[in-house]
Chains A and B, each alone.
Chain A
């Protein structure tokens, strides 16, 4: 149509306009580097998620023992003590959701690149869920901070944060940036161009 829309304030301008006249944001019909950025942040996020699971998240020192727990290890310990509910919550929040997020972002990227079996509406919903849930993964890092600052009972018990907390936080930040780099308008472009598949595979 020769128009460009602002993703921040929804103002419509003539294409070629660089700065939105209403809110001053930079205008781009589509971000041409959207997918490159999504994949770059995605890889960094995945790269940090692996050490986040190898190194200990918490180190607990009590009168009799010193124990280092990784994310999964901590959940297993809780389950062995009969705390199935909490163990399940931790597993879902720190393993299932982050892994699902990596798959979802990869799926969205691949979907724009070579089409998808899911409808545009479904993919858009997926994108919204990923974008919404992303920041909530940080809860793990906050829980580590809370536990470590609270459980400082001299000889009786002390908890200190482990190295994994930094990697986990970085992984959350990078996946958030990956989701933010995704230009959701790309999902809907394929809806208007059914011949797109043939375009990309000559």
Chain B
């Protein structure tokens, strides 16, 4: 952005707020500082030093946690001498008969979509941090990853575990299993990933 090039149109230096459409000249934002829309307060640019590497590290960690947490029990219950524990796969497949479509939706929301998003993010970022040209279809991959964001609900499921625990604590002895702790870590990491990611910086580096 520092050297003006005449073969690209002059609009490349402008940005429009995605929420309210106010147009700015893209400012040079220092590391750890944020450019915020003056009208609607949406964060526009928020670059972080080595964000790419940290994002890949976070994404890999979360991916491993999701895969592992899928199979381990997340809660176990004991009452009257009986004992039962449940994994995420069991939780997803409790919806039977006419409700079975909900099983598939739950599996997508808490396992498949979050995992796909992270794989796409790693695929997009890996060449960028090594200063290589973007991977083939990197723009489509990042676009898909971004549009899946609202449908990735692993962290909501983690809070759901806590609610279920509170609900049942009067009736039975409920204990967190290994997957519940994995999901607790996952909530923190998902929030960290969101704070670290500067979409503008990623799009700008895919543009070069």
Write the residues of chain A forming the contact surface with B, with a CB cutoff of 8 angstroms: 1, 3-14, 22-25, 78, 81, 83, 86, 89, 120-121, 124, 128, 131, 134-136, 138-139, 141-143, 145-154, 156-157, 160-161, 163, 165-166, 169, 173, 176, 180, 184-185, 187-188
Contacts and interface: CB of A to CB of B under 8 A. Distances in A.
B157 interface: yes
A3 to B, nearest CB: 7
A162 to B, nearest CB: 9
B23 A11 contact: no
Contacts of A83: 170
27 contacts: A3-B16, A4-B16, A5-B21, A7-B18, A22-B206, A23-B206, A86-B167, A120-B39, A142-B157, A145-B92, A145-B160, A146-B161, A147-B167, A149-B86, A150-B91, A152-B84, A153-B84, A156-B79, A157-B79, A157-B172, A161-B94, A163-B98, A163-B99, A165-B99, A166-B98, A184-B20, A185-B19
Contacts of A160: 94
Contacts of B200: 9-10
A10 B203 CA distance: 9
A62 B44 CA distance: 55
A156 B161 contact: no
Contacts of B110: 142
B67 interface: no
Contacts of B174: 150
- What 4 pairs across the A-B complex have the smallest Cβ distances? A5-B16, A142-B160, A9-B203, A149-B86
Contact of A165 (B19, B102, B164): B102
A169 B105 contact: yes
B14 A12 contact: yes
Highest count of chain B CB atoms <10 Å: which of A143, A161, A176: A143
Interface string B118-162: 000000000000000000000110110010001101001101110
A124 B40 contact: yes
Interface of B: 9, 11-12, 14-23, 39-41, 44, 74-77, 79-80, 82, 84-86, 90-95, 98-99, 101-102, 105-106, 109-110, 139-140, 142-143, 146, 150-151, 153, 156-157, 159-161, 163-164, 166-168, 170-172, 174, 199-200, 203-204, 206-207
B111 to A, nearest CB: 12
Contacts of A120: 20, 39-40
Contacts of A188: 20-22, 39-40
Contact of B168 (A5, A150, A154): A150
Given A25-B143, A136-B156, A161 B95 contact: yes
B23 A5 contact: yes
Given A23-B139, A150-B91, A166-B95, 9 more contacts: A1-B23, A11-B15, A12-B23, A139-B159, A142-B110, A143-B164, A150-B75, A152-B86, A188-B21
B153 A187 contact: no
Nearest to A188: B20
B106 A142 contact: yes
Contacts of B207: 11, 22
